[in-house]
Amino acid sequence: MNKTTIKCLCLTLLVVAQQGRAADSFEDVRTAIRKEIDGGLASMAVAVAKDGKIVWEQGFGIANKETGRSADQHTMYALASVSKPITSTGMMLLVDRGKMQLDAPINDFLGDAKLVAIVGDISEVTLRRVADHSAGLSGHTMAFHVDEPYSVPPTDQSIRRYGHVLTPPGTRWKYSNFGYGVLEGAIAHSSGQRFADFMRKEVFLPLAMTRTFAEPYRPADDNVAARYRQDGSLIPDYNFDFVGYGGIYSSAHDLAQFGMFHLKNRVPGGKPLFSARRIDELHAASFDSGWWGTYALGWFRSTSSQGQQLVWHAGSSYGTRTYLGLLPAQNVAIAIVSNSDTESIDAITAALLGKFGYQEQLWSKDRTNLKEPPATFSEQLRGEWSGSVHTYRGSIPLSIKVAADGTVEAKFGLGPQSRLAEARLKDTSVTAEIPGSIDTDDARHRANVLQLKLNLYGERLVGDLETKAPWPRQGREGDFVSHWVELRRSGGSAGAAP
C-alpha cells in the first residue's frame, strides 16, 4: 500500500473507533430499551447525531412479527405527527423559491377547494397561521384500515367538507391535524406535483433520506414496521386522509439526517434545501401552546429551568410512538421510532436528552398534579339558543338552553330535549357531549360520541360538533371529524362576528 492509502485507512479506523466509543456511552440506554422489549414493546429504533455526524444508531426488537424481521436503524416506521415538521419543511422550500408566501392567505395556494371563514376574515387565514395552528381550524383525524370498505378521499373533498374557520385567525392556538392536511394540498398545488412526488424529489433525496415515504399507503418494502396493540396483537394497517399531518413513514437514520439539516449541519451525502435564515424562521416561537411550551412552524419549543432550548415534535397514533428532538446549543439531534403506542418511548427520550444536559420533561411545565380552579361562565351564555349543525349532507337542527345554575339542556335533530350531564361552561364557551348521531358516510365510519364545542361571538354561538371515536375503541385508529355549528339567541338579534 502507498502512503496515501495507509493514511486514508488510518483515518477510517480512527473515525470508526471514535464512533464506537461514542456508541458505548449509550449502553445504559440500550439496557433500558431492551428492558422495554422484554416487557412487551415490539420494537424501537434510535439514532443520535452530534456535530453533523451520527454517533449512535441501532434497532431493537422485531419490526414485523409475522415475517420475523428484526428492527434496525433503516426500518421505516409510521411517524404520526412527526410528519408535521417534515411537511412544514416542504412548505418553507416553496416559500424560499418564491412560490408561496408565509403571510399571504392560504387560499391563494389552494386549487378549487378553498377554506371558508364562519368566524373572522378568510384573508387572515395565512400560510403561517395554518402552520402554527392559530388559523382557527378544527381538530381532525380520519383513518382508513386496509380491511375496511373505505378508501382515502381526494384532498379537495376533505377540504370542501371540513375546511371551516371557527375562531378568529391569529387569536387562539388549537392543534389542528386538518391544518397540516391543508398545507399538504397547498404544497401540491403550488409545486404542480403530487405531495409525495414533491417531497421525495425536493426534500427527501436532497437530504439523503432514501428510507422516507409520503404516499397515502404503506410502503411496499420488506423493512417496514407493522403496528401492534399493547397486548402484542397486530393492528390492521391504516393511513390517514392526509399524509402531511401524520402519514409519512421514515427511519431513525433518515430522521437524524433531517435533524442535522435543521441544526444547520452539512448532511452526509446530501445538500442543504435552503438557508440558515429559513431554518430560523421555521424554529422561531410563534404561538403559546400552553403546557407544551410554544409552537413554531411545525415544531414545538421548550426551555429548561437552566435556559436550555429544545426544538422538537412527538407523534402518537394507534400502534405508533415517535420523537424527533433538537438541542441547538449542543448540536444534537435525537430520533426515536417505535411500533407500539405504549409510554416506553417517554423514558428513553428523557434518558437521551439527559445525556446532553436536558433534565426536564418534553414540555415546559408539569401540570399532572394541578387541579383546575372551579369554572365560571359569563351571564351572556344564559338563555335559549337555536340553529343548526352543518354537514356536507345538509343541516340538522340544534337548540340548547343554559340555565342560571349552569345546567344545559339540548335538543338535536329529532331526538328529545335532555339535560347534558357532562356540560362544561367556562367564560364564554360551552363544551358538552350530546346524544344522537350524524348521518354521513364519514361520521358512520366509526361508532362515535358527539362532542359539542361552542364560543360566543356577539349574539352567536359558533363552533363545531365532533364525531369522536378515540382509539382503541373497536381496535381501530380513532376518527375525529368536525361539523360547523351556528346558534343564535332565540328572539335576539344577530351580533357581528369579530
- Cell numbers that stand for 179 in this block: 391544518
Q: Which of 136, 139, 191, 188 is nearest to 166 (CA)?
A: 136
Q: What angle do CA 496, 175, 346 make, to 5 degrees?
A: 160
Domains of the chain (ranges plus CATH)? 78-355 (3.40.710.10), 379-489 (2.40.128)
Q: What angle do CA 239, 163, 145 make, to 5 degrees?
A: 15
Reading phi first (left if > 0) and then psi (alpha if -120 to 50, else beta), residue 427 is in left
* pLDDT of the residue at 495: 37
What DSSP assignment string belongs to 196-222? HHHHIIIIIGGGT-TT-B-SSS----S
* pLDDT of the residue at 453: 96
Q: Which of 479, 477, 454, 481 is nearest to 466 (CA)?
A: 481
- Cell numbers that stand for 55 in this block: 454517533
* pLDDT of the residue at 205: 98
Number of H helices, E strands in the chain: 10, 24
Question: How many CB atoms lie under 10 A from the CB of residue 438?
Answer: 20
* pLDDT of the residue at 372: 55
* pLDDT of the residue at 396: 97
Distance CA 104, CA 5 (A): 56
* pLDDT of the residue at 23: 60
* pLDDT of the residue at 190: 98
Spatial CB neighbours of 219, under 8 Å, sequence gap ≥ 6: 76, 213, 249
* pLDDT of the residue at 363: 47
* Local confidence pLDDT in tens for the 498 residues of the chain: 555 444 444 444 444 444 445 568 999 999 999 999 999 999 999 999 999 999 999 999 999 999 999 999 999 999 999 999 999 999 999 999 999 999 999 999 999 999 999 999 999 999 999 999 999 999 899 999 998 888 889 999 999 999 999 999 999 999 999 999 999 999 999 999 999 999 999 999 999 999 999 999 999 999 999 999 988 999 999 999 999 999 999 999 999 999 999 999 999 999 999 999 999 999 998 888 877 789 999 999 998 888 899 999 999 999 999 999 999 999 999 999 999 988 889 999 999 999 999 986 554 444 444 455 666 899 999 999 999 999 999 999 999 999 999 999 999 999 999 999 889 999 999 999 999 999 999 988 888 899 999 999 999 999 999 998 876 656 788 788 999 999 999 864 433 333
- Cell numbers that stand for 129 in this block: 397561521
Chain centre to alpha carbon of residue 284: 18
